[in-house]
Amino acid sequence: MTTTLNRPAAGAPAASKTAPTFRQRLNVFDVKASPYLYIAPFFLLFGLVGLFPLGYTFVVSLFDWHLLKGQGEFVGLRNFVEVLQDRFFWNSLFNTVSIFLLSTIPQLVVATGIAAVLDQNLRAKTFWRMSILLPYIVTPVAVAMIFANMFGEQYGLINNILASMGIDRIMWMNETLPSHIAIATMVNWRWTGYNALILLAAMQAVPRDIYESAAIDGAGPFRRFFSITLPSIRPTMIFVVITATIGGLQIFTEPKLYDPRSAGGTARQFQTTVLYLWEMAFQRQNFGKAATIAWLLFLIIVLFGIVNWLISRRIATTGDAPANRRLRRAGLTTTRSGK
């Protein structure tokens, strides 16, 4: 009744809303705009050094562009057609994929094993964990010099050991598969420890009580590794696989330094796609075709990345159900054992 009596009469003007002060408007602007301002420098820098060179490379690929003479006539997609009909391009692509497979697969397997060992309760664990990173900080030039001497065909360490065992010398530089194995060994030696540390960080995040519950249930070390560790670090494993794929398809330093006198061997037996791009740009001085090779390599890397992501995602989706069942079982076991 009181409320009815105090209600303002119909048609009376509503009370005016207090206008926000300058400080309040400044606070609202800060809350809404600050996140965009914080991340803007990255996108500005990415657009400057990432997107602009990518677009400008495509423009160059549409012209007959010489290194010294500069821009020539517009040729459209003719450079793409000629590069796709070039047997040296396909040879470089075969070499790239071969070295990529020989380096990435053993590298990830060994890195996972090393990370699993380092995840145990070792003495001086910091020393061991830092030690495996030492190959990563060695310069690629030093790595190439060491391994070029080890894989030397006449006086190399490995051929001398094989000769002392009565085995014929291997032409590590002049034959296709041995040269790929030698270059892949350089890549593995340098990057295995780096990937092992990333996987170790993921393994350290797995709750220890799950391992304890599985051990109480009688699961051995190998069973715990395949049933708990690998399913738990699957997102990190996908990240490592994709980054290793991108790096493996862009390999340049190791094959270039393995034989600095040539652009991938006397018969192009270990010439990668980036090495062929370098030869096209700075030896043949054909910037138009070099830009075309760069764009084709970019599309191939994107294709490999998508296929890799789809396969990894499918494996992750397929493996989630059994992994979750195992984790739930381990959690229930903990509850039972805690009673």
Q: How confident is the model at residue 338 (pLDDT cuts 50, 70, 90)?
A: very low
Q: How far is it, in rounded angstroms, from Cα 209 to Cα 215?
A: 10
Of 144, 233, 246, 250, nearest to 196 by C-alpha is 233
What six digits make up the tokens of 162? 């094989």
Segment 4-16, tens digit of pLDDT = 445 555 555 555 6
pLDDT over 50 (residue 335): no
**78-91 average pLDDT score:** 92
**226-251 average pLDDT score:** 85
Cα dihedral 166, 171, 175, 176 in deg (nearest 10): 80
Give the type of residue at 265: G
Burial class (CB in 10 A: 0-12, 13-18, 19+), 238: middle
pLDDT over 70 (residue 101): yes
The continuous run of DSSP H or E covering 52 comes out as helix 52-61
Of 241, 227, 233, 228, nearest to 115 by C-alpha is 233
Segment 130-188, tens digit of pLDDT = 888 888 888 888 888 888 888 887 878 888 888 888 888 888 888 889 999 999 998 88
pTM reported for the whole predicted model: 0.77
Contact between residue 190 and residue 138 where contact means Cβ atoms under 8 Å apart: yes
Q: How far is it, in rounded angstroms, from Cα 284 to Cα 278?
A: 9
Please tell me the predicted confidence (pLDDT) of residue 295.
92
Higher pLDDT, 11 or 266: 266
Higher pLDDT, 336 or 285: 285
Contact between residue 199 and residue 240 where contact means Cβ atoms under 8 Å apart: yes
**255-269 average pLDDT score:** 84
Please tell me the predicted confidence (pLDDT) of residue 320.
55
Please tell me the predicted confidence (pLDDT) of residue 95.
92
Question: Whole-number mean pLDDT of the chain?
Answer: 82
Segment 183-236, tens digit of pLDDT = 999 888 888 889 999 999 998 888 888 888 888 888 888 888 888 888 888 888
Please tell me the predicted confidence (pLDDT) of residue 27.
87
Cα dihedral 179, 183, 185, 187 in deg (nearest 10): -170
Please tell me the predicted confidence (pLDDT) of residue 319.
53
Please tell me the predicted confidence (pLDDT) of residue 325.
55
Residue 269 CB neighbours (<10 A): 21
Beta bridge partners of 286: 66
Please tell me the predicted confidence (pLDDT) of residue 238.
83
Region of poorest pLDDT, from 46-55, 197-206, 210-219, 323-332: 323-332
